[in-house]
Amino acid sequence: MDLDENNEQRKESREHLIGDLLWTYNSDANDNTFFVGIFADESRSGMSIVTPGPIKEGCMLKLYCEGRWAGARHMSVKWCRKIEPDIYKSGLIINGVNDKQRD
């Protein structure tokens, strides 16, 4: 399983970290459904996570990673790829950061 398949395409370096996280969809509904994932790496403008199911591109998420940061991080799904049966890797960007700000 290659967790760093797009490293040569990155505009900035990422710190490789592995850790458990919880995430939920960022919506106005009071939905308290949390999903599990693995925090794989992080840069100043985004991160990637690994999940047991796909996450639709464009979705806005709230992520929680105890011991890594306080509270929730608000992120948007830029891409999602199947890397193994029932294992998906998603690239997330911090809400409000566009491509020109990351260059």
Residue 102 located in a structural domain: no
> Region 35-43: what's the mean pLDDT?
90
Cβ atoms of 38 and 16 within 8 Å: the answer is no
Q: What range defines the domain where residue 81 resides? A: 13-97
Q: Which CATH number is 17's domain given?
A: 2.40.10.220
Indicate whether 53 pLDDT > 80.
Answer: yes
Cβ atoms of 57 and 78 within 8 Å: the answer is yes
CA torsion through residues 63, 66, 72, 73, sign: negative
The amino acid present at 34, given as its one-letter code, is F
Residue 17 located in a structural domain: yes
**Single pTM value for the model:** 0.74
Residue 78 located in a structural domain: yes
Band of the pLDDT at 15, cuts 50, 70, 90? low
